[in-house]
Structure 1
Amino acid sequence: MSISRAKPLGSLYEECKEYDLVLVPDAPLASALNRRLDKPHFGPFAITPRRLAARRREKAEDRLAFLEITETTDLDWKETAYAVGNILQCWEYQGTAGAVLEYDSYATEGTYAAVECIEGMDTTSGQLTDYTIDTGQSIAVVGYKQLTALERSILPDEYDTIDPFTDDAFDYPPFRILDSPAAVIDVVLETVTEENADDVGVVLDAASQYSPLIESALESADIPFYGGPGFTDDPHHRAFLQLLRSAHAGRDTRVGDVRPLLTQLGMSVDIEHDEKRLFDLNRSAVEWLLEFSEEIHSHSFGSALEAYERVTDSSLGAFREELETLGVIDDFVSEDAVDRLEFYLQSYEVPIERENEGVLLADAKSAAHVDRPLVFYLGLDEGWTHSSPRRPWVDRDQEFERNIRQFQLLLQNGVEQYYLVEDTSGGTPVTPCLYFDDLLDEEFERFSDLNSVQYSRTVRETQDGFEKEPLDISPEEVETISQSSLSTYVNSPRDYFFSRLLDNPDKDYFEEGNLFHDFAEFYVSHPDVITDDELEEVAKVILEEVDPFLRGVDREVRLTKYRIGLQTIVEYLEANPPVGDEVVVANGGWGRNFFAKYYDQTIDVGHTERWFENTDLGLKGKIDLVQSPTQLLDYKSGSKKSAYSIVKNSALDPPSDKPNFQALLYLAHQRTVQPDETLQFTFFHFLETLDDVVTGGGSLDDCLTTVTYHPLSFNEYIGRPAIFTELREEAPNDCNKTFSQVEYDEYRDVLDAHEFPETRDRDELIDSEFGQALTDRMVDAVGDYKYVKNGCKQALRHVLRIRNQNYFRDDVDVFEAFVQERLTELNTRRAGDERFPVEGLGGEPNYRYVNNRDCILEEGSR
């Protein structure tokens, strides 16, 4: 798929000009077509369905409906806002005001009352519902797919549709990558002047940091602009709200918390006091604010506004009018009343008078047309993605198609387009708008992976971070989970949530890992093809595949790395060929192999790259090599881990801060294939001896870490005679000496009489009832000698070491139950019943292992 080329406005006008009436999806397009009229036209020419039905400029009917309902009913403000949003949205999609009442979960008493009130109002939706177009006219509809069901309802039986797109693809301009938001703003300011401002449009996510930055930059440069800051963006409006809020905040309010308010009030307080409580300051500096806070309960909104105007020498007439419209100007300023006022201002855009001159600032998620010759696009990141309503009356596929068509049109405004973006933010790649995933054939993670130009600039400091639009996920139930997804979910459910939404292309280490895995699989099937000379060729092939990711100076080092890694894999497989003729997992392999294609061969063994999906356990994964029916192997290119760390990082209560469940998960599946068998899982770190091999050393054993599953409980395992023999022969000296003087039955009696504790800490074990009982029994049998007590400590450490480096039946049983609990929890969150929290089971996530850091807001987002 590619970006469809939009028809130029001139061409679109030529298709439309012979019609009596042209319906379009948004007002800017209508204005642009109307400006091109080249002959007198009776009545409207290009117009939106709402403007046609209402015969007036469209008004924000959600706000008007809210005001009417709060005035004429007893519904509280939040219930009213919720009902109004549902009613108007459902009306737009289903065509009638009362359609929302057909959905039982939304048909509340409050909604019934709100519907009755709205149906009696003079709204554009009501006029649109009742409107009929004169059938005597010739009618064209531009962008029919972008109209809603309510807008389409006015169409007569006969009309023509005009597609705003051609059959050609749009060759988008390069992404111009800058190193900070301030650098992006500077590029705009280098081009825009007071004289050419009317020829410039700027498209941006209104909720992003680019919005206040461009507004303040244009204002500082005395360049006129419109379409940007709204009612609540006015500095005095914001400061007045913060004044009301801070007056109720209590005596623990810090100076830093109210510094913007202090600045607006003209109260100079040195920054060194930011961490001090406001009430502990010298009262002369903030005397008025402290007195106002102490008197807040005697103020009405009107008197508080007058007090603010006096101290700031300002006039907030528009705010006063809005308080009167809300009917609260004479209400006392209680904390609940301030909450309601803030809720209202956050929920609805209060109309303000604007002078439509200068640079046009356009929200990326509003209209698709910006009729300016020169258009800058700022950010183009995730914030540009629409969040489809999660309501039963919304067809999300149609909504997505409507949004992606609008996005394609938006990208092509103007004679010249400039895409100004960041490639990273806070050291993390900036994810391009998600629509690019569907529109571009390239695989990418960041803008530099696409057609882009890098700019390096010296710019002023600016704030960090982006506000992200919440994204929905499919409610389809998850039946199985992989080891990597489980580890991510346990560390941070929110990170798991974003990992399911965002597709990430390969990086150099992903590409390398896949090619090494493919080589190992190919070698098992065709060892005769890979000679010593051929290994050098394979290394060069891998280098060529990874080369797009590398700097030139890295090639020779990487070639050496690949050659040694391949040699190590071959050495291991020659010494340890897989055994057994049966395929020991339920499902087949990947079915793709780079080297099979390269050598024009097929993979004809059942031991490699075996995919399994065990729905009974809720587990899935891919086994690199089935060494034998009881031994699995996984190739690793990273640093070697010990058996102790592998078992430690698969802990469940509490989870490790480096959760990794691969070995435990694969062994859980494999024991269903080979029940009652001792199983092994080996990690083969084939690059572990890279430095040693370069200098002429290296041992294959240094690359291997094996963990074992025993089909017994831990207590049963350590109660076997073989473990007693280990204590007599393989443990440290004092242990050998002590246990050589007793019989197995004495050791066994302690195990039968005392439960081995759950602890995995050696000191806790030594001090436990079990540890004391073992020591007492050996002292009674051998004598009260120092070496006996020390030998018992050595024995306890030896037994605990077995526990901490292996898995037992109870461990896997508990893990299987743990997986089922996580799947139930996960599906509850996917269904929308609760949010995906940032914190995992172990508390705050280990951010070193968080993949989508920029998507995660801390504190309030949890």
Structure 2
Amino acid sequence: MPITRAKSIDSLYEECKDSDLVLVPDAPMASALNRRLDQPHFGPFAITPRRLAARRREQAEDRLAFLEIIQTTDLNWKEASYAVGNILQCWEYQGTADAILDYEQFATTATHTAVDCIAEMDTTSNRLTEYSIEADTSVAVVGFKQFTELERSILPPDYETVDPFTEESFDHPPFRILDSPAAIVDAVLDTVTPENADDVAVVLDAASQYSSLIESALEAAEIPYYGGPGFNDDARHRAFLQLLRSAHAGRDTRVGDVRPLLTQLGMPVDVEHDEKRLYDLDRPEVDWILEFRDKIRSRTFEEAIGEYEAVTDASIDAFREELATLGLLDDAVTEPAVDRLEFYLQSYEVPVDRENEGVLLADAKSAAHVDRAVVFYLALDEGWTHSSPRRPWVDRDQEFERNIRQFQLLLQNGVDQYYLVQDTDGGTPVTPCLYFEELLDEEFDRFSDLDSLRHSRASRTTQDGFEKEPLDVSPEEVTALSQSSLNTYVNSPRDYFFSRLVDNPDKDHFREGNLFHDFAEFYVSHPDAITSDTLDDVAAAILDEVDPFLRGVDREVRLTKYRVGLQTIVEFLNADSPHGDALVTPDGGRGENFFAEYYDRPIDASHTERWFENTDLGLKGKIDLVHSPTRLLDYKSGSKKSAYSIVKHSALDPPSDKPNFQALLYLAHQRTEHPDEELRFTFFHFLETLDDVVTGNDSLEDCLTTVTYYPVTFEEYIASPDVFTELQEDAANDCNKTFSKSTYEIYRAVLDTYEFPDTSDSDELIDSEFGDALTERLVADVGDYKYVKKGCKQALRHLLRIRNQNYFTGDVDAFEQFVQDRLSELNDRRAGDERLPVQGLGGDPNYRYVDNRDCILEGGSR
């Protein structure tokens, strides 16, 4: 079925104007018809059934009924709310207050109690039940199918029905596809001004992000609006409720959990403290809230409001009045009382006075009529679909028909309609509202499959109507990348961009890692200052520094962990202390060291924390320990990685889904100082043997992972006699046996004749031309034995392990070019040639390694 064209208000008025009374399904339509009266009319003309019966504005009777029940019965708040919702809904569909008692599963004691209470109240539903229109009144009913059974009960025996639809179809305007919610809001603001605000309506899903976005944008542009935020949206009300909730949250509450509250209270704290426990944050900004938390259980809600108003210099009288209505004002602020209050505010909308001027913000699931000349429809997605009540008294087919008719009417409001939508959200297609499946004859999965226009985000103009001129400022060129920046950029350039803009909180593992690094650096300079006994003091000092991040139950476990880690570092440096000349660096400046201050001793070691910036290569970084001129070492507090894993995740084409170029980057720089030497990079995982220490089976070797750089190509390296000797002595048994019976000349002849394939997969290598040739030559030389063929396979795997666990000249050469390409690409993007994309070189980023997840859309590339 196509979208059916709705009659205009003028057309409806012409059909109804001779009637004494016109009943309509929603108040905005009634107001629109009443504004077209061209002659005096005694009594109401166009009106909703509820307004007619009650002779007053419609009230949220679910809230009123709930308040009456909790004050006059013993029902708890949740069972009262559940009963009220069911009773009123069943009443609406079945026409009587006690109709719900006909359904056995709902006819509980609580429901009987609630029915008796509600039946005595002066509610709109009660008035509607008792009301009837006089028989001699000429009545026109617009949209009869939109009325519920209760609303239809007031109709006289004779009345005229007026269909709000014509027999024609509605040729809807195109869906205008924009890139993002922000772009959609900008499109609205490009049209709306304070002068034309009264002519504009915006229809949206009130529960969606568009509600807060459009409200904020209109406020910032000083454009009046109404129909938007309610009682619960008031920032002061939200802050006070969060203050009460946080006061009962326990001692492990983190600063980040109450950051919005601290901001609202005028007590902002740097984001670096977000992961710390609020109780352990020694800063004056939080003194008041800590004092409030400590004494909250001895305060009433009235006293809590007074203290909140005093510290914020803001009044929340409306909240005070609502607490009085609930009977909570003089109650103690206990956790159950706060739970009840929070439940109430989540369940009911407290009425607020609104200024009825400016842009009308209309909820897509409420009224079907919006009497404005220009109407913007935002999103039109699944959020616009009504959820039909799953109750036995609801005819779901009839309810669907009612909703789809309302949706068709809604789409046609105004002289000009603008459907502003997104085609994708975070890389995932946006599903149009499900009603379109019934209304449009086309097959579609997303808005771009329908009649649509794609819009790029328009540039905003200033208030005087002129576009802002771009600033003629050249961006500062990036000349070198650190390993962390390169890792982030390759995973997601957009995340790299935000990492330069957004501060992130300190975390316990960052703080721990820094303190262990400081200790290792200090110990190299002052081994005499540390003994077995003083390690306990050092571990306690680390615990004190990290304590704000920890739960109380974690302290003993962490103390043991720190003691073991420190002991492992000491054992390694005692057994294998750094030697030789330190790495030459352009800037050997050293930052602060916690233990240098703790022991009041300077750091004078030339081997530790060596900073370098190699602009020729475009690389920079800080090396934890120059263990020797040809060996670098990095301390790691995380889980141990194998040499295979390290090399694998430094792959360039394509990059790994966990890009990590640390070893490759540092070796590339070290190669410039020792160009023709074999170089090693060691990761020292000093906590790797934590469990083994407890059992006495620890070994320093288990903590170390080393990757080696050989100053030759891989092909040259494996063609060496030393590698052939490895195949004879250090490989698997059958390989040793096979190659011990052959000669280096035969092995070398295969390498000289056949190219070693570019693969990291052993099966591919074995099945390759090279693999076949090696096997054939060894079979011919040693004999056609099963162990020879098996030994050749073992030899090929051994060669591949060498390839997959080390670096060679070709690897470092390719990496240096890779870095130059990334720098050129990055600087072009910084100059404005294109936005930094979300996707990295390997496609969609690995979101486990995205630091600024809230700032980017998953799957997006723009």
TM-score with structure 1 setting the length? 0.54
Q: Is the 8 A contact 2:368 2:409 kept in 1?
A: yes
**C-alpha distance in 2, partners of 1:54/1:183?**
44
Shift of 1:280: 2.1
- For 1:478-627, what aligned pairs fall within 5 Å after superposition? none
Which residue of the partner structure matches residue 180 of structure 1?
180
Find the counterpart in structure 1 of residue 81 from structure 2: 81
Kept in 2: contact 1:200–1:373 (CA 8 A): yes
Deviations 1:359-404 (A, max 9, x none): 1000000000000001000010000000000000000000000000
Q: Deviations over 1:341-363 (max 9, x none)?
A: 01101101101111111110000
- Provide runs of 4+ in structure 1 moved above 2 Å: none
Give the AA of the match of 1:236.
R
The one-letter code of the counterpart of 2:343 is: F
Q: Distance in 2 between matches of 1:79 and 1:187?
A: 45
Per-residue CA deviation, residues 321-360 of structure 1 (Å, 9 max, x unaligned), is 0000000001111111111101101101101111111110
User: Runs of 5+ in structure 2 lacking a partner?
Assistant: 461-732, 735-785, 795-845, 849-856
Match of 2:364 in 1: 364
> Radius of gyration: which is bigger?
2
> What are the within-5 Å matches in structure 2 for residues 438-457 of structure 1?
438-457=438-457
Alignment of 1:352-431 (within 5 A): 352-431=352-431
Amino acid of the structure 2 residue aligned with 1:417: Q
- Secondary structure at 1:228 match in 2: coil
Q: Deviations over 1:532-553 (max 9, x none)?
A: xxxxxxxxxxxxxxxxxxxxxx
Tell me, in whole angstroms, the C-alpha distance in 2 between the residues paired with 1:11 and 1:243. Answer: 54
How far apart, in 1, do the equivalents of 2:452 and 2:2 lie? 17
User: What secondary structure, in the 3-state scheme, does the structure 1 residue paired with 2:421 have?
Assistant: strand
- What is the aligned partner in structure 1 of residue 243 from structure 2? 243
Shift of 1:270: 1.0
Superposed CA offset, 1:618-639 (max 9, x none)? xxxxxxxxxxxxxxxxxxxxxx
Q: Does 1:93 align with 2:96?
A: no
The residue number in structure 2 matching 1:302 is 302
Give the counterpart letter for 1:197 in structure 2: A
Distance 1:274 1:54, change over 3 A: same
Asked whether the 8 Å contact 1:265–1:311 carries over to 2, the reply is yes
Sequence identity, in percent? Answer: 77
Partner of 1:197: 197
Tell me the SS of whatever aligns to 2:44. coil
Partners of 1:256 and 1:414 in 2: how far apart?
45
After TM superposition, the structure 1 = structure 2 runs for residues 653-802 of structure 1, keeping only pairs within 5 Å, are none
Q: Does 1:10 align with 2:20?
A: no
Residue in structure 1 matched with residue 482 of structure 2 by the alignment: none
Aligned residues, how many? 478
CA distance in 2, matches of 1:125, 1:167: 35
Residues 422 and 325 of structure 1, relative CA distance in 2, 3 Å threshold: same
Partner of 2:260: 260
Instruction: Tell me which residue corresponds to 1:278.
Output: 278
What SS does the aligned partner of 1:408 have?
A: helix
Shift of 1:453: 0.5
Provide the rounded CA distance (Å) in 1 between the counterparts of 2:422 and 2:279.
42
**How far apart, in 2, do the equivalents of 1:51 and 1:99 lie?**
23
Please give the alpha-carbon distance, in whole angstroms, between the structure 1 residues aligned to 2:97 and 2:288.
50
Contact 1:182 1:459 in 2 (8 A): no
- The corresponding residue for 1:692 is none
Distance 1:335 1:283 in 2: 27
Contact 1:91 1:99 in 2 (8 A): yes
Structure 1 CA distance, aligned partners of 2:417 and 2:299?
Answer: 52
Q: Does 1:161 align with 2:161?
A: yes
Q: Is the 8 A contact 2:225 2:360 kept in 1?
A: yes
State the Cα RMSD in Å: 2.6
| 1:228-260, Cα deviation, whole Å (9 max, x unpaired) | 000000000000010011111112111111111
CA distance in 1, matches of 2:847, 2:71: 49
SS in 2 for 1:191: coil
Offset at residue 271 of structure 1 (A): 1.4
**Counterpart in 2 of 1:41?**
41
Superposed displacement of residue 273, structure 1: 1.5
SS of the counterpart of 2:167?
A: strand
CA contact under 8 A between 2:139 and 2:159: conserved in structure 1? yes
Indicate conservation of the 8 Å contact 2:175/2:451, yes or no. Answer: yes
For 2:184 and 2:173, the matched residues in 1 are separated by 16
Residues 786-814 of structure 1 deviation map (CA, whole Å, 9 limit, x = unaligned): 99xx99xx9xxxxxxxxxxxxxxxxxxxx
2:475 corresponding residue in structure 1: none
1:458 Cα deviation after fit:
6.1
CA distance in 2, matches of 1:297, 1:451: 60
SS in 1 for 2:453: strand
Partner of 1:693: none
Cα distance, 1:78 vs. partner?
0.3
Question: In structure 1, what is the Cα distance between the partners aligned to 2:283 and 2:331?
Answer: 29
CA distance in 2, matches of 1:255, 1:423: 37
Aligned-residue offset at 1:459: 7.7
Where does residue 341 of structure 2 map in the other structure?
Answer: 341
Given that 2:133 and 2:156 are in contact with CA atoms closer than 8 Å, whether structure 1 keeps it comes out as yes
Name the CA distance, whole Å, in 1 between partners of 2:160 and 2:133: 14
- In structure 2, relative to structure 1, the CA distance for the partners of 1:847 and 1:269 (3 Å cut) is closer
Q: Which one-letter code corresponds to 1:71 in the other structure?
A: Q
1:23–1:48 CA contact under 8 A, matched in 2? yes
Contact 1:20 1:138 in 2 (8 A): yes
Q: Which amino acid aligns with 2:66?
A: F
Q: Deviations over 1:278-332 (max 9, x none)?
A: 1222231211011101111111111111111000000111000000000000111
What are the superposed Cα offsets for residues 68-88 of structure 1, whole Å, 9 maximum, x if unpaired?
000000000000000000000
Alpha-carbon contact 1:5-1:168 (below 8 Å) kept: yes
Whether the aligned pair in 2 keeps the contact of 1:183 and 1:459 (CA below 8 Å) is no
SS in 1 for 2:189: helix
1:763-842 correspondence to structure 2 within 5 Å: none
Q: Which residue of 1 aligns with 2:686?
A: none
**Which whole-Å CA distance do the structure 1 matches of 2:280 and 2:72 have between them?**
46
| Alpha-carbon distance between aligned partners in 1 of 2:6 and 2:253, rounded to the nearest angstrom | 54
TM-aligned CA deviation for residue 847 of structure 1: 11
Select between 83-92 and 293-302 the one with higher mean Cα deviation: 293-302
C-alpha distance in 2 between matches for 1:164 and 1:225: 28
- The separation in 2 between residues aligned to 1:391 and 1:337, in whole angstroms, is 31
Q: CA–CA distance in 2 between the matches of 1:178 and 1:127?
A: 48
The one-letter amino acid paired with 2:128 is L
Amino acid at match of 1:331: D
Structure 2 match to 1:227 = 227
* Inter-partner Cα distance in structure 1 for 2:847 and 2:409: 38
Distance in 1, matches of 2:117 and 2:370, equals 36
Distance 1:34 1:68 in 2: 35
| Contact 1:226/1:360 (<8 A) preserved | yes
One-letter identity of the residue aligned with 2:417: Q
Amino acid at match of 1:430: V
**Where does structure 1 lack aligned partners over 5 or more consecutive residues?**
461-732, 735-785, 795-845, 849-856
* Secondary structure in structure 1 of the residue aligned to 2:177: strand
Contact 2:187 2:458 in 1 (8 A): no
Counterpart CA distance in 2 for 1:453 and 1:77 is 50
CA deviation map 1:427-470 (0-9, x unaligned) = 1011000000110011111111101110111689xxxxxxxxxx
What code does the residue aligned with 1:150 have? Answer: L
Assess if the C-alpha contact under 8 Å between 2:369 and 2:410 holds in 1.
yes
Tell me whether 1:121 sits opposite 2:116 in the alignment: no
**Secondary structure at 1:239's aligned position in 2?**
helix
2:649 alignment counterpart: none
Counterpart amino acid of residue 259 in structure 1: R
Secondary structure of 2:195's counterpart equals: coil
Structure 1 distance, partners of 2:72, 2:231, is 25
Q: In the alignment, which residue of structure 2 is the partner of 1:287?
A: 287
What are the superposed Cα offsets for residues 764-798 of structure 1, whole Å, 9 maximum, x if unpaired?
Answer: xxxxxxxxxxxxxxxxxxxxxx99xx99xx9xxxx
